[in-house]
């Protein structure tokens, strides 16, 4: 029986790409000499990857130390901006989270920097409904291991993960838990998973897992 539901953030709970692109462009303009403008579409292709891989993809011309210095600026600007920015919250997300928290323990595990999940919770006002959260910025570990950390830390034996990318699927395999694919998100992948078409469908996660509702390919 499911005890906990673990959520990804971007492409699952909300879409912050336009606002993150804005904050990163501000950081690049104010903190560097680069002539570079990033777009939300570029970031959508990167979200869900490890932070180091994102920096390699977007700034391959920079040495590792330069990438690290730039990343510090990008994440500081992003966390501050996202706290109050008009990010796109998926339909029925807030009310569904509130209702699910009455039956399950809710968690967040995302491949983000320290402070981003806190910014999401502050922006949405949903902090009281999530029992715990973590990310590579907090632990230095990737999503599969962070899923296990959250489960062990909270005494959870049975959990499911809701995410939208193949990276999420790989992490769930590593952690040994099933994944529900958020078909409305950013996802691209190679495997088939039980899918939900909107966040409101999370009401039926337990029955979907048990009954094996029709799987869909990631990125559908």
Q: What is the pLDDT of residues 188-215, one digit of tens each?
A: 655 677 889 999 998 776 554 533 334 4
Least confident range of 47-56, 85-94, 149-158? 47-56
H or E segment to which residue 7 belongs: strand 4-7
User: Beta-carbon neighbour count of residue 130 at 10 Å?
Assistant: 18
Q: Considering the entire predicted model, what is its pTM?
A: 0.91
Strand, helix or coil for residue 79: helix
Least confident range of 43-57, 99-113, 123-137, 176-190? 176-190
Contacts of 137 (CB under 8 A, 6+ apart): 51, 75, 112, 113, 114, 115, 116
Strands 215-217 and 192-196: antiparallel
CA 214 to chain centre: 24
- Convert the pLDDT of each residue in 24-83 to its tens digit: 999 999 999 999 999 999 999 998 888 999 999 999 999 999 999 999 999 999 999 999
- Convert the pLDDT of each residue in 164-185 to its tens digit: 999 999 999 999 999 999 999 9
Right CATH number for 4-15+88-217 from 3.30.930.10, 3.40.640.10, 3.40.50.1000, 3.40.50.970? 3.40.50.1000
134 close to 111: Cβ distance less than 8 angstroms: no
Where do we find the tokens 């078909």? 183
91 close to 202: Cβ distance less than 8 angstroms: no
């Amino acid at each position: 029986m499911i005890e906990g539901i673990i959520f990804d953030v971007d492409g699952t709970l909300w879409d912050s790409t336009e606002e993150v692109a804005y904050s990163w462009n501000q950081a690049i303009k104010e903190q560097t000499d680069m002539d570079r403008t990033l777009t939300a579409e570029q970031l959508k292709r990167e979200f869900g990857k490890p932070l180091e891989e994102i920096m390699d993809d977007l700034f391959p011309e920079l040495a590792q130390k330069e990438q690290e210095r730039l990343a510090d600026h990008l994440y500081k600007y992003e966390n501050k901006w996202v706290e109050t920015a008009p990010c796109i919250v998926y339909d029925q997300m807030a009310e569904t989270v509130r209702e699910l928290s009455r039956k399950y323990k809710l968690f967040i595990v995302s491949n983000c920097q320290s402070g981003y999940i806190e910014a999401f919770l502050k922006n949405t006002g949903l902090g009281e409904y999530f029992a715990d959260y973590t990310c590579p910025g907090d632990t230095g570990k990737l999503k599969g291991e962070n899923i296990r950390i959250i489960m062990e830390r909270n005494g959870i034996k049975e959990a499911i993960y809701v995410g939208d990318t193949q990276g999420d699927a790989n992490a769930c395999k590593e952690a040994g838990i099933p994944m529900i694919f958020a078909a409305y998100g950013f996802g691209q992948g190679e495997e088939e998973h039980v899918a939900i078409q909107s966040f409101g469908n999370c009401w039926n996660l337990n029955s979907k897992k048990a009954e094996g509702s029709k799987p869909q390919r990631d990125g559908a």
